[in-house]
Amino acid sequence: MPVINHIAESAEDLTTWRRHLHRHPELMYDLPRTVAFVEERLREFGCDEVVSGIGRSGVVAVIRGREPGRTVGLRADMDALPVTEITGADYASETPGKMHACGHDGHTTMLLGAARHLAETRAFAGTAVMVFQPAEEGGAGGKAMVQDGLMERFGIEEIYGMHNLPGLPVGRFALRPGPIMASADYVEIVVDGRGAHAAKPNEGIDVVLTGSAIVMAVQQIVARNLDPLSSGVVSITNFHAGEADNVLPPRAVLVGTMRSLGAGIRQKLRDRVTEVATTIGAAYGATVTVKIKEGYPTTINHPAQTAFAHEVASEIVGEMHVDPNAPPLMAAEDFAYMLEERPGAYVFIGNGDSAGLHHPGYDFADAALPFGASYWVRLVERALPLP
């Protein structure tokens, strides 16, 4: 069955909502305007319950079907990014330095569109729980909602998520069982040496030279310590040392990220980065301190729920337009915390030939809204069929 007619007919509403959210981006957990907009729409739709403040600023709506049954959760993220928009769109961000550069305005809108349809029709047996999450962009809002009792309080038995994907044509879906997005850890390497005049480097311990050797070595770990068929990334993204052009500074600070698609690889990267950095520091006479901050875990789709999501997406766009074995991405996603608590699946929806995620020229494709909203509705109706 293709895009639901009623949703297709409401495409103008969806576009209006999405562009309103795009104009007013908010960050992390500080989402008062976004939350108010979402709550107002959900109450207008006649949802059975609308609960705020889950995971600090998350919103949860409960919609009960015509008959009792199981409970399924659908999740969308609401937060934007600290990015200055350059799209030039007439609905561009009105808040300097903030924009919806990852499409969460579209994700929120698609789930709102599904909520309206489900509340009107209730053509299912059970309960649909709409989860609007804060702070996906680095704030672990998904973890906060889980820790706040999301699953237990609302009786969620399965949970599903969706994200747009630039480069995948509008009207297509992609997914895969198992790891679909990477874990992410963050590393800080502090190199302490001895400052000296640049004309007398022999009197100092050169932290710039030591740090440079560390950068070269840790970024070779993946090539020489991991199985070639494994997936991992080590990237040093910041190197801060000194201020003057004729002074060897006493300290350098390196910052970066480590990503992988499995717990064993994740731990190996942590261990090897620490070992390599400290050993090189000792060889150069410097003292090296490595601090690792744990980020999001690997997003792992459950096989049965992924197969089911594939069937639902195929009903919307046709099987030939659904990739069931899409390559995983090395970006991270805190929906991973929800999939650790309940079985479910995370899918990608096509955003067409747009700029990449987190790019200042990115924009969500409004043409994708009916496809995503229809997917959510069909997923609920298929997962919770009427007798």
pLDDT of 118: 98
Residue 231 has pLDDT above 90, yes or no: no
Q: Which of 70, 171, 154, 164 is nearest to 386 (CA)?
A: 70
Contact indicator for 183, 332 with CB cutoff of 8 Å: yes
Domain final residue pick, 261, 294, 327: 294
Q: Tens digit of pLDDT for each residue in 16-47? A: 999 999 999 999 999 999 999 999 999 999 99
Domain range holding 150?
Answer: 5-180+298-383
pLDDT of 263: 77
The total number of structural domains that make up the chain: 2
pLDDT of 227: 85
Domain harbouring 200, CATH code: 3.30.70.360
Strand partners for 258: 185, 234
pLDDT of 61: 98
Mean pLDDT of the chain: 96
Q: Tens digit of pLDDT for each residue in 135-164? A: 999 999 999 999 999 999 999 999 999 999
Same domain, 221 and 112: no
Domain final residue pick, 271, 294, 317: 294
Q: Which of 105, 259, 103, 108 is nearest to 168 (CA)?
A: 103
Residue 335 contacts by C-beta under 8 Å, 6 or more apart in sequence? Answer: 75, 136, 142, 161, 299, 346
Domain final residue pick, 237, 262, 294: 294
Domain harbouring 379, CATH code: 3.40.630.10
Q: Tens digit of pLDDT for each residue in 235-269? A: 999 999 999 999 999 999 999 999 999 878 999 99
pLDDT of 1: 54
Strand partners for 62: 49, 129
Same domain, 118 and 144: yes
